[in-house]
Structure 1
Amino acid sequence: MPRRYAFVRADEATHPDSIRATLAEFISTFIFVFAGEGSLLALGKIYGDLGGNSASELVAIALAHALALFAAVSASINVSGGHVNPAVTFGTLLGGRISVVRAIYYWIAQLLGSIVAALLLRLVTNMRPVGFYVSHGVGEWRGLILEIVMTFGLVYTVYATAIDPKRGSLGTIAPLAIGLIVGANILVGGPFDGASMNPARAFGPALVGWRWGNQWIYWVGPLIGGALAGLMYEYMVIPTEVPHHTHQPLAPEDY
């Protein structure tokens, strides 16, 4: 799809495709948050520690998020683009790949998907969702920078593998690449601030578990990182799109 900025595109607000895409974002975000947050609760049930502080727990959490996001993006990429993340949606909005109305639909669906996932986890496990927090001694500003950098890498990967018009066959591995970068970033940032990279992933568990400490960095950081990646890739990596001029058709003998 070419770069085009718009508040709403023709018939988009009520078009069945918009509804299907919004539903896909809801379901995919639900899948991702249920598995991601559920892995934290499962480890807490096994080890009696909800922090995931050991190396083996960290690897398990990273793997659970990577696999869940791989599945979630795969399930929705052909319907909604497989955002599963308000920061990805924000980056594509600033890049002119979706309209404002479509972005709002996605944000609502993503947040609701996360809330429903956290509610169901609370119901079936009888455990309070863990959510995210900045580890002792790290500080909110360091956590903010971590979220910016990690989300930049995530959204840049999304652009390179799923959005770039010249991605070619690379698009077939987009869900895998997106899942892997999230898993890798969790291995880096998990011990410091949990490595959210996704406001929806942070919001549902925070609301249901009522854990609001440091919550602002899990919104501000990913949105800044997503915006920087979207704008940089859109205007510095993707070639400038030259408008097509209308020409008279060639005579048959000129082909």
Structure 2
Amino acid sequence: MAKIALGTGREAVQSDVLQALVVEFICTFLFVFAGVGAAMATDRLAGNAVVGLFFVAMAHALVVAVMISAGLRISGGHLNPAVTLGLCVGGHITIFRSLLYWIDQLLASVAACALLKYVTGGLATPIHSLASGVDYFQGVVMEIVLTFSLLFTVYATIVDPKKGSIDGLGPILTGFVVGANIMAGGAFSGASMNPARSFGPAFVTGDWTDHWVYWVGPLIGGGLAGFIFETFFIVRTHAPLPIDEESY
């Protein structure tokens, strides 16, 4: 497993870090704007609950795939403190830079939700909260499992240097798993998988009901997935053979 890197305060003024923060802000902003906007539109249309859940899941799947692709080269396209933590645990980003990313992602989420509230004429911004009959422990476990699934996919399809034939498909495959997880967990915990995605609506509405669940669950799930995949599945000593010498 790669060692966790602390980093230094000098990173805050490095040009590549500043570029990454700008791109991470833009991509997270657009992700939250589309994701929360889809949830607001579903509430406004007041349609069938199953259709509404599918609509929200598909909106998140599409925007996650596109925004990861947009930010991948510069910032990594994290969009999510849980993703940042998972990559930090694997030694792919320093602790200091991770903290900068977290602040960036939270500010972007708040800005997106504030703008949505304005452009929709004050339409209610739905927060993530536990469904009736779902207790705190169940909600945390649900978010742990869903976020573990998300980070495991990120590592397998984007981070792992031996991803082989799926190279380049990571963003869209990650979007697919986000959509699938929302369909699976949306009716129970809301399927946040992302503290920033939950933070913006809670901040704008001032409603912090069950909010801690959407930090504890995703951060545990993300960190655990990063640790497990980096420790047991990534092989860093592998040197690819020349293409004409590869055996199939």
Q: Same fold (TM over 0.5)?
A: yes
Displacement of 1:138 in angstroms is: 1.2
Alignment partner of 1:155 is 2:154: no
Displacement of 1:10 in angstroms is: 9.7
1:60 corresponds, among 51, 55, 74, to 55
In structure 2, the residue matched to 1:133 is 129
Whole-Å Cα distance in 1 between the matches of residues 43 and 175 of structure 2? 23
Report the secondary structure of 2:167's partner residue.
Answer: helix
The residue type paired with residue 239 of structure 1 is V
Whole-Å Cα distance in 2 between the matches of residues 31 and 13 of structure 1? 23
In structure 2, the residue matched to 1:27 is 26
Alignment partner of 1:72 is 2:67: yes
The residue type paired with residue 212 of structure 2 is W
| Structure 1 residue ranges, 4+ long, deviating more than 6 angstroms after superposition | none
State the aligned residue count.
237
Whole-Å Cα distance in 1 between the matches of residues 41 and 206 of structure 2? 19
Report the secondary structure of 1:12's partner residue.
Answer: helix
The residue type paired with residue 187 of structure 2 is P
In structure 1, the residue matched to 2:107 is 112
Alignment partner of 1:165 is 2:161: yes
Displacement of 1:210 in angstroms is: 1.5
The residue type paired with residue 20 of structure 2 is A
Whole-Å Cα distance in 2 between the matches of residues 19 and 31 of structure 1? 19
Displacement of 1:214 in angstroms is: 0.6
For the 8 Å contact 2:129–2:190, the answer to whether it is kept is yes
What's the TM-score once normalised by structure 1's chain length? 0.89
Q: Which has the larger radius of gyration?
A: 1
Q: Percent identity?
A: 46
The residue type paired with residue 216 of structure 1 is W
Whole-Å Cα distance in 1 between the matches of residues 118 and 9 of structure 2? 42
Report the secondary structure of 1:44's partner residue.
Answer: helix
The residue type paired with residue 233 of structure 2 is V
2:221 corresponds, among 218, 222, 225, to 225
Whole-Å Cα distance in 2 between the matches of residues 13 and 137 of structure 1? 45
The residue type paired with residue 37 of structure 1 is V
Alignment partner of 1:45 is 2:40: no
Structure 1: stretches of 5+ with no match in the other structure: 243-255
In structure 2, the residue matched to 1:145 is 141
Residues 159-193 of structure 1 show CA distances to partners (whole Å, capped at 9, x for unaligned) of: 11111121245230111011110000000000011
Alignment partner of 1:197 is 2:193: yes
The residue type paired with residue 97 of structure 1 is H
Residues 52-96 of structure 1 show CA distances to partners (whole Å, capped at 9, x for unaligned) of: x71111100100110111111111011111111000000111111
For the 8 Å contact 1:135–1:191, the answer to whether it is kept is yes
Residues 1-43 of structure 1 show CA distances to partners (whole Å, capped at 9, x for unaligned) of: x934322169533211000111111111111110110011111
In structure 1, the residue matched to 2:244 is none
1:124 corresponds, among 104, 119, 133, to 119
Displacement of 1:127 in angstroms is: 1.1
For the 8 Å contact 2:34–2:59, the answer to whether it is kept is yes
Whole-Å Cα distance in 1 between the matches of residues 29 and 213 of structure 2? 22
2:173 corresponds, among 168, 177, 183, to 177
Alignment partner of 1:236 is 2:244: no
